[in-house]
Amino acid sequence: MKLHVNEEFSFKVKTIIKKGIFYTLLLSGFMYGSYKSGKDYCDEHPEYRYEDISNNDYNEEVDEEIEEEIEKEMQESIKEEVKVIEGINETINNNIIKNDERKVVAITFDDGPGSYTDRLLDILKENNVKVTFFVLGKNVLKYPDVVKRAYDEGHEICIHGYSHKYYTDKDPNTGEERGLGIKGTREEIVTTYNILREIDVEPQPYVRPPGGKVTDEIVQNIDYAFFKWSVDTRDWESRNKDKIKEIIYRDIENGSIVLQHDIHECSVDATEEYLPTLTSDYKFVTISELFNELDNDLEICNLYRNAKVKEKQLSY
């Protein structure tokens, strides 16, 4: 019985093993067949093989062409957008110019250039403001690059003198004339003019007499337009930026000529603070522009304190 059972068991095991081998062979054959037919198909149609698709030169070229096309289109659209933005900006700028009803004021700086002038030029550039410098020849020799920079950046360069000696002066005790007079004044102006021409700066034919001291005789005998001022910041006296600002806020009006000195740091500090707060109401311009804006004629051998405003005649 035991043996019989064993024989029966052994038979069953053998049958299972035989069936297992059969099905394994059948499955292997099927798998090989699938592989073989797939391989054959791929061999016949290489374009469907994954490797061939990814590494195909033709496809790379197509990809590059598509990329180039896309990039081209993007650049075109960017160009179009830039054109639109430029157009809008131009319209805005034109409207600002056409509708600019700000009052015009000329800021002038005397006695420079000095060690603060370069910083002043940075501030003016930041605020997009042009001013007028009445320079001293002896200081132009010390800071030629600064004067050239001011000139190149569109500021007006004019002459104050060479040494800052007064064109005219009377001895307070004797009442005697001890100024430069016509001949001495002319020499100071010509010397400074030549120094400026040496550094390729063409000054305007405008002068400001040191201390504002001048006689009718000097004005009428020198072929320059002479300028005083209508707003005196007295920066040289107070050396206080807040006082300078106070005077400017209080006194400037349409056609004003403001007197400052770029050799004093306080005056440069004040300019840095008042410019951004005033540019919405005032357009700061050079002396030439001031007279132009208000339709005033500038003539040599004349003395000016400001530019005349039609609706409100200011005294000369």
Q: What are the structure tokens assigned to 151, written together?
A: 């000139």
Are 137 and 188 a contacting pair, CB within 8 Å? yes
- Site for Zn ion contains 156 (CB under 5 A): no
Q: Please, which of residues 196-225 interact with Zn ion by CB under 5 A?
A: 210
Nearer to Zn ion, 166 or 284 (CB): 166
Helix axis angle for 241-251 and 265-278, nearest 10°, is 40
- Max intra-chain CA distance, the chain: 162
- Site for Zn ion contains 113 (CB under 5 A): no
By CB under 5 A, which span of 23-31, 111-119, 122-130, 183-191 interacts with Zn ion?
A: 111-119
Nearer to Zn ion, 110 or 188 (CB): 110
Total binding residues for Zn ion by CB under 5 A?
Answer: 3
Q: What span, in angstroms and rounded, lies between the C-alpha atoms of 95 and 149?
A: 31
The catalytic site residues sit at 110, 261
Q: How far is the CB of 232 from Zn ion (least distance, A)?
A: 12
- Site for Zn ion contains 112 (CB under 5 A): no
Give the residue nearest to Zn ion (CB). 110
How many CA atoms, within 13 angstroms, populate the side-chain half-sphere of residue 73? 6
Q: What span, in angstroms and rounded, lies between the C-alpha atoms of 282 and 101?
A: 9
- Site for Zn ion contains 111 (CB under 5 A): yes
Among 106, 107, 109, 110, binds Zn ion (CB under 5 A): 110
Are 142 and 113 a contacting pair, CB within 8 Å? yes
Give the bridge partners for 202, in sequence order: none
Q: How far is the CB of 210 from Zn ion (least distance, A)?
A: 5
Nearer to Zn ion, 114 or 255 (CB): 114
Give Cβ neighbours of residue 220 (< 8 Å, ≥ 6 apart).
301
Closest among 153, 109, 105, 94 to 283, alpha carbons compared: 105
Nearer to Zn ion, 114 or 210 (CB): 210
- Site for Zn ion contains 161 (CB under 5 A): no
Nearer to Zn ion, 229 or 282 (CB): 229
Residues that bind Zn ion (CB under 5 A): 110-111, 210
